[in-house]
Structure formats: structure tokens, C-alpha cells
Amino acid sequence: MVYRLILLFSFIIIALNCSGGAYQKLAVDNPRVLLAMEDSLTNASQLKPSTVNALVLAHNAVGASDLNKKDYSSAIQHFKDAIRLNPSDTIALYNVLIAEGHLLYKRGERNGLWDAIEKYHKASRLKPNIGEPFYYIGQSYLKNGNKDFDLILESYEKAISLELDPTLMPIVLAAIEKQKNREKTLKDFWK
């Protein structure tokens, strides 16, 4: 009980002393603390644009952290909260589609995999220079039991032709090699 009162008191002091720049700093340094104050901040009669931007930044940071932890439901909620505050935030729009696609992919249901592919395509249209959605499109085709190697390989090759996280690049290259070998084995079998 005392801990909760101290925590509440700390939030009140921070809220009273924070200017827009301080909220931005808090969004970067400790986004979960800022989000814990969100209700009290949004109950104010008029939110300053800098406070809205800080909350969007915090939701995106926590959503990205949850996405990395594969907590897709939580990530989706944070990205949707960012979109609620700023409907044109392309970072949140992109990431919510990626997280929704991952959740559908994880479930592995046939129709869900097609929906995942659609989510990844929508994400790729928001950030056309990023290759990540195309890797997951290829993964979804593969998980769907698709033996159409052209679609799988085309997706992977599109992924490496665009900007790709350096940690994902070797994974995509290995996936390309594996699918080429699978295709060759299947063709050799039916000769």
C-alpha cells in the first residue's frame, strides 16, 4: 500500500513537472512509466501536441519491445493505441499489420495464413523499401503447404533486394538455399 502511494506520488510529481520535452525524454528512456501516466495525461482538458507525440512514441517503443518478445496481442494493442492518438503514424500502422500477420501466422490456420499474407502485403505498401514483409509472405506460403516454389522464392528474393535487418539477412539467404534444394529434390524425384 505504501509502495503504491509512493508510486502514485512520484507519477503526480513527474506529471506536474514534465514539459513536452520531458515527456519525449521519458518516452525514450522509460516508455512504460509514461504509459502508466497516460490516463491522467489524457484526462487533461487539452493534450499538447508534444504530449501526444510522446505518448505515440512510447506506445510504439513498448509495442516494438512486445513484438520482439513475440507477445503479438500486446504489441497490437500498443500500436493501435498509437494509431488512436495519431491515425497517420506510419510506424504504428506498419507494425500493427506486421504483428497481426505474425499472430495469424503463429496460429497456422489455412485461411489465417492467407490473411497473414494480406497483412504483410499491406505493410509492404506502407514501407515499400523494407524487405521484412516479403520474407514473412514467403514463410506464410511455405507454412500453407504451398509447393509453388516460384511464389516462395520470389518473396524471399524480393526481401533481400530491399532494406533488410542485418540479423534477418542470413536467415532469408538460408531460406532461399533451403527452398532451392527442396525444389531440386522434388524435381529430381519426379524425373
Other beta carbons less than 10 A from residue 22's beta carbon: 16
pLDDT of residue 20: 58
Predicted TM-score (pTM) of this structure: 0.83
Give the Cα separation of 85 and 78 in Å (integer).
11
Give the start-to-end residue ranges of the domains of the chain. Answer: 1-87, 108-191
Asked if pLDDT for residue 58 goes beyond 90, the answer is: yes
Query: What Å distances lie between residue 75 and 3, 117, 135, CA to CA?
Result: 28, 19, 20
pLDDT of residue 67: 97
pLDDT of residue 30: 85
Give the Cα separation of 131 and 135 in Å (integer).
7
Length of the chain: 191
Written as nine digits, the cell of 145 is 503447404
Average pLDDT of 3-9? 39
CATH second-level architecture of 108-191?
Answer: Alpha Horseshoe (1.25)
pLDDT of residue 128: 97
pLDDT tens for each residue of 156-191: 999 999 999 999 999 999 999 999 998 888 777 777
pLDDT tens for each residue of 15-54: 444 455 888 888 888 899 888 888 878 776 567 888 999 9
Written as nine digits, the cell of 185 is 529434390
DSSP, collapsed to helix, strand or coil, labels residue 43 as coil
Average pLDDT of 71-76? 97
